[in-house]
């Protein structure tokens, strides 16, 4: 591991300093900063390059000991959507190369890019610096387009082409789960030997059993309530509407539950959800749920842990997730998860042990699962114990160790390609 002393992380479209749960900030932001911190704890200096979105941002921010976030000026600070960012790739890449050129020759020992836009920049820097490129997709256009939510916008062909180029250019690809690895191989023709599965982690010092009663008291929740939590970005892909429709179905069947039901929606509009940011609140009103639904702005990790610990269950009804970090975080607090049986959620949630996996997004099926967990206390207690057990396999320290091994393999592959 002595070969890796300094690492360049590229996270072009969203900064690891941004608040998860709003805009384009989500699990990937948490992934980048938490992995960087654990790598730094192992003696590796990490520079994270991201696009500046405000003139007030300092050029370099020390995010943690050994971790620097470098704000790159590429395009206007505000007003650019993620779909418009490909037009700024050349400027962003130029500034990244310029930052490296100001350092002694051989300053960085490896590159790790996140999401396809960053991979495009990483591929250029790889060839210029002569160091290996490791890439993590996080999401893939072909996968998203195969499981679109109603009203969502398909990913454009330009993104698919860009992803295919990154897959070809990277020395190693990190997949979050076995399912994602197979998707890279089957949908993008990735070479199987250059795909490695590394689970993301959970900060188990933050997401831990906090005591449901204490957490509810801190948040002003009734001690005897059935708290059905959704936490994440509000957009069609994440499907918070499925939870609301299921709650309406549940109350139609069992009106007596209404007096004890609380449904917090923690997060902010994102992606195509920005086109109609009020649509979920309107749906809650149309379904007659104004008295049970609480909309909560995005919160810091410590507060999110408190919300998860306070919940009876956490619902993750997404149409697709490469991993599903919020499900892992919720389980680490001892709270069962109800999740759609899609993508990485089938790895994170162990059906019948740490939560329940639900096939499809039919509100009636989700209502039945909600009722089952609410009404069956022995089941809840068993799932809670299983959730804690399941969460122990996801730790950022383990993620960092496995990622370092991938960096070493990337060096080996690069040497082979040169020779």
Binding-site residue positions for 1D-myo-inositol 3-phosphate = 13, 24-29, 82, 115, 139, 159
Q: Which residues contact 355 (CB under 8 A, 6 or more apart)?
A: 313, 327, 331, 336, 337, 338, 339, 349, 383, 386, 387
Q: Which residues are annotated as a binding site for UDP-N-acetyl-alpha-D-glucosamine?
A: 19-20, 27, 233, 238, 299, 321, 329
Beta pairing, strands 67-72 & 60-64: antiparallel
Q: Which residues are annotated as a binding site?
A: 13, 19-20, 24-29, 82, 115, 139, 159, 233, 238, 299, 311, 321, 329, 335
CA angle 123, 125, 128 (to 5 degrees): 115
The 3-state DSSP class for residue 313 equals strand
Tokens of 82: 């993620």
Q: Rounded to whole angstroms, how far apart are CA atoms 65 and 41? A: 8
CA angle 140, 145, 150 (to 5 degrees): 130
H helix runs in 133-211, sequence order: 141-146, 157-169, 178-188
Tokens of 179: 């399912």
Q: Rounded to whole angstroms, how far apart are CA atoms 31 and 215? A: 25
CB atoms within 10 A of CB 335: 31
DSSP per residue over 26-82, as a string?
Answer: SHHHHHHHHHHHHHHHTT-EEEEEEE---TTS-SEEEEETTEEEEEE--S-SSS--G
Q: Which residues are annotated as a binding site for Mg(2+)?
A: 311, 335
172: left (phi over 0), alpha (psi -120 to 50) or beta: beta
Question: Are the C-beta atoms of 387 and 330 separated by less than 8 Å?
Answer: yes
Question: Are the C-beta atoms of 130 and 85 separated by less than 8 Å?
Answer: no
């Amino acid at each position: 591991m002595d070969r890796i002393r300094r690492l360049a992380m590229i996270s072009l479209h969203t900064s690891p300093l941004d608040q998860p749960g709003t805009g384009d900030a989500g699990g990937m932001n948490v992934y980048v900063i938490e992995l960087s911190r654990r790598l730094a704890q192992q003696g590796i200096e990490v520079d994270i390059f991201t696009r500046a979105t405000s003139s007030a941002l300092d050029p370099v921010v020390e995010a943690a000991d050994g971790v620097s976030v470098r704000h790159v000026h590429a395009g206007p600070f505000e007003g650019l959507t993620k779909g418009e960012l490909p037009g700024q790739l050349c400027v962003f890449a130029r500034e990244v190369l310029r930052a490296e050129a100001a350092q002694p020759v051989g300053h960085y020992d490896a590159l790790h890019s996140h999401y396809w836009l960053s991979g495009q920049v990483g591929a250029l820097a790889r060839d210029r610096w002569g160091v290996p490129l490791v890439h993590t997709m996080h999401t893939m256009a072909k996968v998203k387009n195969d499981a679109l939510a109603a009203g969502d916008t398909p990913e454009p062909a330009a993104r698919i082409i860009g992803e295919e180029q990154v897959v070809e250019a990277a020395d190693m690809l990190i997949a979050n789960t076995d399912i994602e690895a197979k998707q890279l191989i089957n949908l993008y023709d990735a070479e199987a030997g250059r795909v490695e599965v590394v689970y993301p982690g959970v900060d188990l010092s933050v997401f831990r059993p906090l005591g449901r009663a204490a957490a509810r008291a801190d948040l002003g929740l009734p001690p005897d309530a059935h708290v059905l939590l959704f936490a994440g970005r509000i957009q069609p892909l994440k499907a918070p509407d499925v939870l609301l429709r299921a709650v309406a179905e549940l109350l139609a069947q069992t009106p007596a539950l209404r007096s004890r039901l609380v449904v917090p929606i923690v997060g902010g509009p994102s992606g195509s959800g920005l086109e109609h940011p009020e649509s979920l609140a309107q749906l809650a009103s149309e379904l007659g749920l104004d008295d049970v639904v609480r909309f909560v702005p995005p919160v810091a990790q410590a507060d999110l842990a408190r919300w998860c610990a306070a919940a009876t269950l956490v619902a993750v009804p997404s149409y697709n997730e490469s991993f599903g970090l919020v499900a892992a975080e919720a389980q680490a607090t001892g709270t069962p998860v109800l999740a759609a049986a899609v993508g990485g959620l089938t790895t994170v949630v162990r059906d019948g042990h740490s939560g329940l996996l639900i096939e499809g997004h039919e509100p009636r099926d989700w209502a039945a699962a909600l009722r089952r967990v609410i009404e069956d206390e022995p089941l809840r207690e068993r799932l809670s114990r299983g959730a804690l057990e399941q969460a122990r396999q996801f730790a950022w320290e383990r993620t960092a160790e496995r990622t370092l091994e991938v960096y070493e393999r990337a060096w080996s592959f690069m040497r082979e390609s040169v020779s």
